[in-house]
Structure 1
Amino acid sequence: MTVLLPAAGRAAMAWKNGGGVTREIACSPAGAGMAAFTWRVSLAEVAADGPFSVFPEVERTLTLVEGAGMDLTVGGRRRLVDARHVPQDLPGDEPTDCRLLDGPVVNLNVMWRRGASAPTVAVVRGRLGLRAAHALIVALDEDGSADVDGVRLARHDALLLTGEDATLYAHGPTAVVGLTP
């Protein structure tokens, strides 16, 4: 089954700690809240310096999508996130403080429960064959788009694949989040 998840239909939700806004793309199980998801993918808007929400027993892969970046302090260690479209793994349960480098940013945020199968996260361009894929495809770039077997994805649109063969044509940076069924 293939499910189109248009960006236009996503509601902004306050972060768990109230310090920012996120727009959920998909989660498992479907409709699970913050305390019950196995995995969750969202686009987070960071408009000001401050702490990230803490998620006990959760891992995350964060990918800078828009903006100049962030200077993070994760569990007391500095972590510079200033390259777009480069997935970075971070623990979700360590205190994380953020200082924006030059204005607001948008991050693709993939989270999963520790002990569950970790999603894979890659940002691609070009043609990619996906065989029996369980994946979430997200078009990341303002100027680029992606096509998956004739379905056009505009900026921040997503397509959930659940076990199909598909061919992705990524005209701009596109995230491929591999999921375990």
Structure 2
Amino acid sequence: MPRSTISMARVAADGPFSEFAGIDRSLAIAAGRGLALTIGDCPEVVLDSTSEPVRFAGDTPTSASLLAGPIVDLNAMTRRGRFDHRLQRVSTSTNCDFGDHDIAAIVAPCDEVSLVARQGTVTLMRGDAAILTSAADAPCLIVPAPASACYLVLLRETRRQPGSA
């Protein structure tokens, strides 16, 4: 598995999640009514398209039950100890605060999103994503369409790979 992955998937049935040893995951509902998530022995968590993302260890047994029909989820996954991520839902104009993260991915799952940076304005259409770096693209303003939301994934390397410069 790569060191970090961002993906969207259609979930049409209840069932267990794939287990990924050594991976930290975050999950959000991009479209649909939602699901009830059971992570290990923790109490069930109900997620819908207005919920904040949930973070959990990919090697913890996890299963989901759909609330009312299929959903589309958004996953961010990073290899523990090598990369770290933060996934957040953005529903109002927000400055992309990289903090100590080097890379930002903005995902527009349902509606348009405008990105306003010193180089100009770019509009992401439904299903688009943009990759920004703190060195080249900060500061950046994220402007989701009215009554909509997008997702911001912040990524950073936590440890250098053997043999890397």
TM-score band (shorter)? 0.7 to 0.9
Q: Deviations over 1:72-100 (max 9, x none)?
A: 22224342333324111121111212221
Runs of 4+ in 1 over 4 A off after TM superposition: none
**Alignment-derived partner of residue 17 in structure 1:** none
SS in 2 for 1:62: strand
2-structure distance, mates of 1:45, 1:53? 14
Cα gap change, 1:161 to 1:54, in 2 (>3 Å) = same
* Aligned positions, number: 144
Residues 64 and 81 of structure 1 are in contact (CA less than 8 Å); yes or no, is this contact kept in structure 2?
no
CA RMSD of aligned residues (A): 1.9
Residue matched to 1:139: 108
- The code of the aligned residue for 1:160 comes to I
Contact 2:28–2:47 (CA under 8 A) maintained in structure 1: no
Higher strand share: 1
Summarize the alignment of residues 31-180 of structure 1 with structure 2, pairs less than 5 Å apart.
34=1, 37-85=2-50, 86-130=52-96, 134-141=103-110, 144-149=111-116, 150-163=121-134, 164-165=137-138, 166-171=140-145, 172-180=148-156
Whichever of the two has the greater Rg, that structure is 2
Partner Cα separation in structure 2 for residue 38 and residue 44 of structure 1? 19
- Mind listing any 5+ residue stretches in structure 1 that lack a counterpart? 1-33
Q: Does the CA-based 8 Å contact 1:136-1:178 persist in structure 2?
A: yes
1:115 is displaced (CA, Å) by 1.2
Distance in 1, matches of 2:23 and 2:143, equals 32
Once the two structures are TM-superposed, the CA of residue 147 in structure 1 deviates from its matched residue by: 1.0
State the TM-score, normalizing by the size of structure 2.
Answer: 0.77
Counterpart Cα distance in 2 of 1:96 and 1:67: 20
Whether the 8 Å contact between 1:72 and 1:96 is mirrored in structure 2 is yes
Return the letter of the residue paired with 2:36: D
